[in-house]
Amino acid sequence: MKKIKNILSLLLPAVLTVVTLNAQTPKIAVPLRFDHYYSYEQVVEALKVLHKAYPDLTKLDVVGKSEENREIYALTINNPKTGKELDKPGVYVDGNIHGNEIQAGEVGLYLANELLTKYGKNKKISRLVDNNAFYLIPVVNVDGRYHFFTDANTPSTNRGLRRPKDDDRDGLFDEDFPDDLDGDGSITRMRIKDPFGSYKTDPEDSRLMIRVKPGEKGEWTVLGYEGIDNDGDGRINEDSEGYVDPNRNWGYNWAPPYVQQGAGFYPFSGVGLSAVKNYIMERPNIIMVFAFHNNGGMFLRGPSTKAQGEFSSGDINVYDYLGKNAEKIVPGYRYLVSWKDLYSTYGDFGDFMDNVVGAYTFVGELFVSASESYAEPGKEKKNEGESFFSSGGTERAREKLKFNDHVAMGELYTPWKAYKHPVYGDIEIGGWVKMSSRLPHPFMLQDLVHRNAAAVIFAAEQTPDVKMEVFETKEIAKNLYRVRLRLSNSKAMPSITYHSVKDKVFPMDIIELSGKGIKVVSGGKLTDVYNDKVNYKKYKPEVQYCQVPGFGKVEYQFLITGKGELEILYKSQKAGTLIETIKL
């Protein structure tokens, strides 16, 4: 192993400079700029700059620390003049739970920037900030983001938590990472000349390889990603960072690693992940959730496995309303059901938020690579031809290279070049750089973050807005009053999800009547106001439990004896608190 490392040290420059597409980052100031990607340190600075600029509307918290002791920051946006944050519907947005999915962090920053810089200038934004509390964690996997920028990577590496793991079971931990052999800041592919190989040079573009047909002579064998045998065991790149998938480590419907790859040894074994969970659970007002990932252009809702069964029709109506409008806001994105339209997952964040927190959750898979187009008008590729797993074949690869050449100025692809490998000998290294494939070029970033933030804003406008009205107070006998109460909701989301009601996730909304010298004789839900039909509650009629539906109302009737002031309290974990006082 030492011999190989000595050879490598002779082959590489003494100091490697990591080059990324955002190498020249301007000074961070409000309003934030979105013509580049922010490193982990720059994300932290951007959040501090926003908080400093808007101290009356923001609170900046350190949620916890990661495996490598980096701080995870959350920005709360709330107008305290219109109420306490926990008394308002909570909108939670996070991103970058997978370390390489960095544009997800940019959506969170953009949303914060939009809400704060336009508050007091834009009526829609001002109303939204006044009526809701926003909880934003742009980067969940802070170690992953740090290493994605700092280290050489492929577009898909450094996804998981930095928890050491002996992948090859040799008693060593994380000792055989990929190696940036050519020092360009990315881990690209290695290939070697081989007449019996499975590939040959594409006749239309020599940078590409196509599979040979049966009986056809080969030209190349693909050796995998750049690297050497760091531990001298005869294998290359087999033990990089320990893989715990932070989106498979949540404490609902979790399954062990032999069922779900990346699950970890137990739920919330991730240090930073556990801290994020605690932060969320301390905010029971959260009802709307967006978790941003990449890629594929999707708005995914649960459930994440078929065995859980479908949501109730009431919740599906809410999801459909939000999801179908999100499709219109972000062209090319599709509103889908996770297990049915993609694949099943266990222990994921969305299931936890739906079933434990009682929220409506969307996972936003950012970026449609078909948007990297170089085609004749009318012949652009549509999203249907691609999937999360496939880039669309040779024809699509040719188009992407033309996009790289003529639109992205060659910044997304490294041409093949000769290299003397200590094991393989004469090989070539080249391919797509780490800031490609799953990430839009920075010139495309502004549109992506704005449209996806707009989808969040649309959903946030539909958090419950419950109004309380005493629409009748009538003396129906001596010292006996009939009081009728209406709770109405002009928004799409109910005051508590139907799933939460069905599974008794937490207490339903409460209506409570009280007053000195006043006794509630009976009370219940008014089902027919014209024929005086009421479902009376047998015990403690002064306390009623309810759910206020979206775009709807509920009405209650009470029979009360006594005189004086009657206080009517409505309290909801998600929709806030209302108090009305009348005199009998």
254 in the same domain as 120? yes
State whether 247 and 234 are in the same domain: no
Q: Is residue 12 part of a domain?
A: no
Helix (H) or strand (E) holding 6: helix 2-11
Give CA–CA dist 387/342, Å, rounded: 9
72 lies in the same domain as 205? no
Helices (DSSP H) in 357-437: which residue ranges? 393-406
Encoded amino acid at 124, one letter: K
Same domain, yes or no: 449 and 427: no
Distance CA 286, CA 92 (A): 6
Question: For residues 373 and 403, is the Cβ–Cβ distance under 8 A?
Answer: yes
Element (H or E) spanning 430, and its range?
strand 425-432
On whether residue 78 sits in a domain, the answer given is: yes
According to the model, what pLDDT value does residue 237 have? 85
22 part of a folded domain = no
- Contact (Cβ atoms closer than 8 angstroms) between residue 408 and residue 164: no
**pLDDT for res 22:** 47
Q: Do 333 and 395 have their domain in common? A: no
Burial of 3 (0-12, 13-18, 19+ CB in 10 A): exposed
Total domains in the chain come to 3
Q: Do both 111 and 216 map to the same domain?
A: no
Same domain, 296 and 427: no
Contacts for 245 with CB less than 8 Å, ≥ 6 apart? 98, 159, 160, 161, 261, 262, 263, 264
pLDDT of residue 387: 39
CA distance 435 to 444: 13
In a domain? residue 447: yes
Measured between alpha carbons, how far is 272 from 152 in angstroms, rounded to an integer?
23
Candidates 40, 133, 119, 152; CA nearest to 88 is 133
Assigned domain for 16 exists? no
Q: Could you tell me if residue 15 is inside a domain?
A: no
User: What is the chain's length?
Assistant: 584
Give the residue ranges of DSSP H helices in 330-409. 349-352, 393-406
Dump the DSSP string for 245-302.
Answer: -TTS-SSSS---TTTSTT--SSTT-SHHHHHHHHHHHT-TTEEEEEEEEESSSEEEES
User: In terms of residue numbers, what domain contains 341?
Assistant: 45-148+243-367+442-460
In the numeric block, which tokens belong to residue 433?
Answer: 């750089």
Take residue 406 and report the two structure tokens written for it: 């003529």
- How far apart are alpha carbons 99 and 70 in whole angstroms? 13
Beta strand 286-294 with 565-572: parallel, antiparallel or unpaired? unpaired
Claim to verify: residue 484 and residue 502 sit in the same structural domain:
yes
Q: Which residue is associated with the tokens 């006594």?
A: 562
Contacts (Cβ under 8 Å, ≥6 apart) of 259? 346
**247 and 236 both lie in a single domain:** no
Pairing assessment for the beta strands 334-337 and 243-244 based on DSSP bridges:
unpaired
Q: What is the DSSP letter of 215?
A: T
The answer to whether residue 156 sits within a structural domain is no
Picking from 568, 567, 565, the residue whose alpha carbon sits closest to that of residue 583 is 565
Domain shared by 561 and 506, yes or no? yes
Same domain, 305 and 452: yes
Distance CA 257, CA 522 (A): 55
Q: Write out the chain's pLDDT in tens, 584 residues.
A: 444 444 344 334 333 333 444 445 678 999 999 999 999 999 999 999 999 999 999 999 999 999 999 999 999 999 999 999 999 999 999 999 999 999 999 999 999 999 999 999 999 999 999 999 999 999 999 999 999 999 999 999 999 998 887 776 777 777 778 999 999 999 999 999 999 999 999 999 999 999 999 999 999 999 999 999 888 888 888 878 877 999 999 999 999 999 999 999 999 999 999 999 999 999 999 999 999 999 999 999 999 999 999 999 999 999 999 999 999 999 999 999 999 999 999 999 999 999 999 999 999 999 998 899 998 887 766 544 343 334 468 899 999 999 999 999 999 999 999 999 999 999 999 999 999 999 999 999 999 999 999 999 999 999 999 999 999 999 999 999 999 999 999 999 999 999 999 999 888 999 999 999 999 999 999 999 999 999 999 999 999 999 999 999 999 999 999 999 999 999 999 999 999 999 99
Is the peptide bond between 31 and the residue preceding it cis, with omega within 30 degrees of 0?
yes
CATH code, domain with 271: 3.40.630.10
Closest CA to 246 of 269, 223, 224: 269
Integer Cα distance of 549 and 120 in angstroms = 31
Q: Which two tokens stand for residue 407?
A: 């639109």
Q: What is the pLDDT of residue 167?
A: 75
CA distance between the termini of the chain: 88
CA 192 to chain centre: 40
Q: Is the pTM of this model over 0.75?
A: yes
Please tell me whether residues 351 and 405 are part of one structural domain.
no
Task: Specify if 310 maps to a domain.
Answer: yes
Going by C-alpha positions, the residue among 535, 583, 548, 537 that lies closest to residue 563 is 583
Which residue type occupies 374?
Y
Residue with token string 């939204």: 128
Are 13 and 183 in contact by the 8 Å Cβ rule? The answer is yes
Sign (positive/negative) of CA torsion 488, 489, 490, 492? negative
List beta partners, residue 301. Answer: 337
User: From the CA atom positions of the chain, what is the Rg in Å?
Assistant: 28
pLDDT at 381: 61
pLDDT score, position 25: 63
Cα gap 280→364, rounded to integer Å: 19
